[in-house]
Chain A
Amino acid sequence: MPVEDHKEAGVLFEDRLGEALRHAGGGFETDRSALAAAGAVRGRRLLLRRRAAVAGGVAAVALVGVGGTLLVPWSGDEGGQSVASGQRVTPPRPAEDDGEVSGADLVRTLKKLLPKGKFSEEQGRGTGESGRDGLGMPYAQVVYDDGKGAAAVGVSLNRIEPGSEQAREWTRCPDKRLVSYDACTASTLPDGSDLLLFQGYEYPDRRVDTKHWYASLVTPQGHHITVNEWNAEAEKDAPVTRDEPPLSTVELTKVVSATAWRTAVDAIPESPGHSVAPKPSATTSAPPAADAASVGTTLASLLPENLKVTAKGGQEPEYAYVVVNDGKGESMVQINVQSNMGEALSGHMAGAEKLPDGTLVLTQEAADEKGRAGVVVRTVDVLRPNGDRVVIMASNAAGLQGGATRKAPALTIAQLKRIATSEKWQEAR
């Protein structure tokens, strides 16, 4: 019966489609723990900055996340709402009465601090709303045109615990081996404030050429001020309007250092229930299994003797890298050391070799996941029965950006396996 046949064929096709999708989907692998950690980092940033950063379309400062991924908090046309909440938040217009220092005040201050030019699309939020749940931090943003092309320029304000890891994160240059950018300087001003001047890109892999420059200032009293600028009228999805963002680093420094911003941060109401800048201890999701320094030292101590270490780094807990050279070119070796990963990796270790003590070892050699031509990555993933995990990756490139520097990674799978299964990782915890 043709109708029945057709129906049956339809059902069969749907069954097969489901199976094929599972097959295809299962072929996409990533470092899920790094992805999870990067998500948490973004969440913390969102929590601290999303209302100012997202609702107004101001980008928060880019920062280095786990594994060297440059994380740029999302800005969407959803107006900063939680997707799940189903409530749209209208992008706020600068009001005169939304705090001791109003959104309109902040916009006026920003315009006054910028060199002469035309302003449009003014947005802002005052200090009064900031402590309340459901809203965000004070900010001001304008589209500024100095005659050479309109560009988004914004300032966002917050409190931060001086000397905290979080404060350091905002004022430390990302590692150039991990993130590509044109320039970055970190300095301390005469008043003791830490200042970061960053000139990079909206997308670290530069799939879109929008430049993102910013200055981030943390004072000894915990004022945190960030001035962002782009060479486009919005941080994303807007055409580039000029070669570079309008403000030089000198001008950025002048704007970010203005005392008016510190006065505004002081006016943010304290609200114990909805702390604007929670202490790091309250935002850390789990104690790290190891710190970057000890991970890096242990890694270096386990390398074959013919390899010369030409660079090392890693700015996240549990993560470190070294760049080695055996005379044939630089090769980057990255490592992640984690605890309690047993359950999270339950589906990930399929096909792994099982050592006598129950340790699972998964090895892989594959083309670079970012598609860099000729770049090969060798990975050894070791999961101990107690959930401790060591993942080591060696590539034939000198960093996470840039092309191949040699034919193959400087370490073989067997050498990587020896490093990752070393007892030293157990001792280092």
Chain B
Amino acid sequence: MRQTRADDYAEFAAARAGHLYRSACLLTAGDTHLAEDLVQETLGRLYVSWRRVSRVGNPAGYAQTVLTRVFLTHQRRRSSTERATDVLPDLPDPRTADADTPLRLTLVEALGRLPAKDRAVVVLRYWEDRSIEETAEAMNASSAAVRTRCVRALAQLRVLLGDALSEHAAP
């Protein structure tokens, strides 16, 4: 990689690593080890194809897409032996957590109870603010499938979260 391009990459990676990590933590329902691994893999793949990536209009969105696919690939590999609910979230120590932490625990736990693809839909739609079409593209899925998953995931989250959102997240 040429120096200028390498510098561009380094700048991009440093600027996006935090956001990608947070996305990955949501995708993995709090498995921070796995989240780090996924982000490193994502950044590694972007490094490899940086010349091409840097020419696309929205490298940040591109990075998120790569992260989503890396995550789904990982999930596919282990789906035969593990269910989504088997994920043991790496939750923060409650003794050192701040006052708002209970909401996070509830939401992260709820995410962990969704199937991986449904979780990816939720993260892309409501954390990344992507449209159905954009979500479908990122997941290599049809928009109909994304819609279905989205409805299903929202219904499940409503049940799992109960009143937690209205209590804590109302503006």
Of the candidates A13, A27, A38, A371, the one whose C-beta lies within 8 Å of that of B158 is A13
Of the candidates A30, A85, A284, the one whose C-beta lies within 8 Å of that of B21 is A30
- Given contacts A83-B66, A367-B96, is CB(A35)–CB(B17) below 8 Å? yes
Using CB atoms, name the residue of chain B closest to A39: B43
**A45 contacts partner chain B, Cβ-Cβ < 8 Å:** yes
Q: With a CB–CB cut-off of 8 A, which chain B residues contact A236?
A: 77
Q: With a CB–CB cut-off of 8 A, which chain B residues contact A13?
A: 154, 158, 165
Contact B21 A14 (CB under 8 A): no
| Bound-state Cα–Cα, A346 to B107, Å | 27
Task: Name the distance in Å between B82's Cβ and chain A's nearest Cβ.
Answer: 10
| Bound-state Cα–Cα, A46 to B48, Å | 7
Contact A348 B107 (CB under 8 A): no
Q: With a CB–CB cut-off of 8 A, which chain B residues contact A26?
A: 22
- Given contacts A42-B41, A84-B53, A344-B14, is CB(A76)–CB(B73) below 8 Å? yes
Task: Name the distance in Å between B20's Cβ and chain A's nearest Cβ.
Answer: 8
**B33 contacts partner chain A, Cβ-Cβ < 8 Å:** yes
- The 8 A CB mask of B32-58 against A (1 = contact, 0 = none) is 110111011111111111101100000
Of the candidates B22, B25, B43, B74, the one whose C-beta lies within 8 Å of that of A43 is B43
Q: How many residues of A contact B (CB 8 A)?
A: 67
Q: With a CB–CB cut-off of 8 A, which chain A residues contact B65?
A: 84
Q: With a CB–CB cut-off of 8 A, which chain B residues contact A366?
A: 92-93, 96
**A40 contacts partner chain B, Cβ-Cβ < 8 Å:** yes
Within residues 85 to 142 of chain B, which ones have a CB less than 8 A from any CB in chain A? 90, 92-93, 95-96, 100-101, 103-104, 107-108, 122-123, 126-127, 129, 140
**A188 contacts partner chain B, Cβ-Cβ < 8 Å:** no
Contact A32 B18 (CB under 8 A): yes
| Bound-state Cα–Cα, A39 to B50, Å | 12
Q: With a CB–CB cut-off of 8 A, which chain B residues contact A32?
A: 14, 17-18, 21
Contact A24 B7 (CB under 8 A): no
Task: Name the distance in Å between A83's Cβ and chain B's nearest Cβ.
Answer: 4
Task: Name the distance in Å between A207's Cβ and chain B's nearest Cβ.
Answer: 7
How many residues of B sit at the interface, in one of the four size bands?
A: 35 or more
| Bound-state Cα–Cα, A21 to B161, Å | 12
Contact B169 A83 (CB under 8 A): no
Most chain B Cβ neighbours within 10 Å, of A39, A47, A78: A39
**A119 contacts partner chain B, Cβ-Cβ < 8 Å:** no
| Bound-state Cα–Cα, A190 to B66, Å | 46
| Bound-state Cα–Cα, A74 to B96, Å | 33
- Given contacts A13-B165, A40-B10, A40-B13, is CB(A47)–CB(B47) below 8 Å? yes
**B166 contacts partner chain A, Cβ-Cβ < 8 Å:** yes
Q: With a CB–CB cut-off of 8 A, which chain B residues contact A73?
A: 44
Q: With a CB–CB cut-off of 8 A, which chain A residues contact B93?
A: 366-367
CB < 8 Å A-B pair total: 206
Contact B14 A341 (CB under 8 A): yes
Contact B70 A83 (CB under 8 A): yes
Contact B36 A35 (CB under 8 A): yes
Q: With a CB–CB cut-off of 8 A, which chain A residues contact B74?
A: 76
Of the candidates B17, B49, B96, B126, the one whose C-beta lies within 8 Å of that of A17 is B126
| Bound-state Cα–Cα, A165 to B104, Å | 43
Contact A77 B73 (CB under 8 A): yes
**A282 contacts partner chain B, Cβ-Cβ < 8 Å:** yes
Within residues 206 to 254 of chain A, which ones have a CB less than 8 A from any CB in chain B? 207, 236-237
Contact B9 A25 (CB under 8 A): no
- The 8 A CB mask of A392-410 against B (1 = contact, 0 = none) is 0000000000000000000
Of the candidates B95, B100, B123, the one whose C-beta lies within 8 Å of that of A23 is B100
Contact B7 A285 (CB under 8 A): yes
Using CB atoms, name the residue of chain A closest to B151: A10
Using CB atoms, name the residue of chain B closest to A348: B18
Q: With a CB–CB cut-off of 8 A, which chain A residues contact B170?
A: 16
Contact B10 A286 (CB under 8 A): yes
| Bound-state Cα–Cα, A195 to B49, Å | 32
Contact A78 B154 (CB under 8 A): no
Contact A44 B47 (CB under 8 A): yes
Question: Can you list 6 contacts pairing A with B, beta carbon distance less than 8 Å?
Answer: A21-B26, A32-B14, A36-B17, A38-B40, A47-B48, A76-B70
9 pairs of A and B residues whose beta carbons are closest in the complex = A43-B47, A39-B43, A42-B44, A367-B93, A344-B14, A36-B13, A28-B25, A32-B17, A32-B18
Chain B: residues with CB nearer than 8 A to chain A? 1-3, 6-7, 9-11, 13-18, 21-23, 25-26, 30, 32-33, 35-37, 39-50, 52-53, 62, 65-66, 69-70, 73-74, 76-78, 90, 92-93, 95-96, 100-101, 103-104, 107-108, 122-123, 126-127, 129, 140, 154, 157-158, 161, 164-166, 168-171
Contacts beyond the supplied A35-B17, A82-B45: 15 A-B pairs with Cβ under 8 Å: A13-B165, A25-B127, A27-B101, A35-B18, A36-B16, A39-B13, A39-B17, A40-B43, A43-B46, A73-B44, A76-B73, A282-B3, A285-B6, A286-B10, A369-B32
